[in-house]
Amino acid sequence: MGRSRRTIPEELLLLALDPATGTTAQPQSLDLGLAGAQLVELALAGRIAPDGDRIAVVMPRPTGDPTLDSALELLRRRGSPVRAVHWIGGPRLGLRQIYLAHLERCGMVHAVSGQMCGVLPTTRYQATDTAISRDIRSRLDSAIRTGVPPDPRTAALAALAHAVGLGKHLYPGNEGRSSRSRLRDLIRHDPMGGLVAHAVMDVQNGVAAQPRRSPAPAGPGGPGGPGGPGGGRQPARTAPEPGGVPMQPRRGSMARAVAH
């Protein structure tokens, strides 16, 4: 893979980089987003392909990008397709720092050393060419403003930006609410981007840690049947807000129900 095109992980990190502070927005979820971005980039390169909610290696030949090839090799060693949510939620923390160092080697950012409170060492990162960041942002803005379906690369970038919570960083305040909503809607324009974006949000919401249940019998009156609880058609899945958690029943209402 040549260096004539920026990869989606690189673009996602540049989007998250705050030029004022030299730090990245959403650092906790950005590692997950970068893992998902690697999957999308490998899919665009023809190395992997979705298999339901799983990822299968279809061409193990290296791409020439060391960071992507490391992920490809790990996927190859699995031997069988792996669920996207398990891959993204796996123990591969530190991708943000790996990609910051990668961008520095490529000359896209430069590190600025400093100190916090005159004691703790800090490192801030500044883009060496702000035109690159403006170009990335312009593609997202255009897709949001025009409503024209974007190319798969831009659609996947938008899906991942929403999944890691960059919407409020890119389009802050009440005036950015409609843009954040349209950013979320772009998730449907790229199947692979949508798959990994949902996986990123599932990991944040703890879905990956929940055991998979066997389907209940679908007989009449049974839990999965038309007359039983959970029967009937399930609602279509929509893109949730990243970092959301299921609502819990109120203790007071539960106590009243028991009392009656």
From CA 236, how far away is CA 24, in angstroms rounded? 33
Has residue 260 got a pLDDT over 80? no
Determine how β-strand 54-57 pairs with β-strand 48-51: antiparallel
Query: What is the reported pTM?
Result: 0.76
Q: What is the pLDDT of residues 15-73, one digit of tens each?
A: 999 887 888 888 889 999 999 999 999 999 999 999 999 999 999 999 999 999 999 99
Amino acid at residue number 10? E
| pLDDT of the residue at 256 | 37
| pLDDT of the residue at 243 | 53
Q: What is the pLDDT of residues 151-208, one digit of tens each?
A: 999 999 999 999 999 999 999 999 999 999 999 999 889 999 999 999 999 999 987 6
Question: Which one of 189-198, 238-247, 249-258 scores highest in mean pLDDT?
Answer: 189-198
Q: Which residue has the higher pLDDT, 244 or 256?
A: 244
| pLDDT of the residue at 18 | 86
The CATH H-level superfamily of 8-96+129-205 is yeast vps74-n-term truncation variant domain like (1.10.3630.10)
| pLDDT of the residue at 251 | 40
41 in Cβ contact with 7 (< 8 Å) = yes
Has residue 209 got a pLDDT over 90? no
Q: What is the pLDDT of residues 224-237, one digit of tens each?
A: 444 444 444 444 45
Give the residue extent of every domain in the chain. 8-96+129-205
Q: Which residues pair with 50 in a beta bridge?
A: 55
210 in Cβ contact with 196 (< 8 Å) = no
Residue burial 98-133, b: 16+ Cβ < 10 Å; e: rest? bbbebbeeeebbeeeeeeeeeeeeeeebebeeeebb
Calculate the average pLDDT of the chain: 81
Mean pLDDT check: name the lowest of 6-15, 110-119, 127-136. 110-119
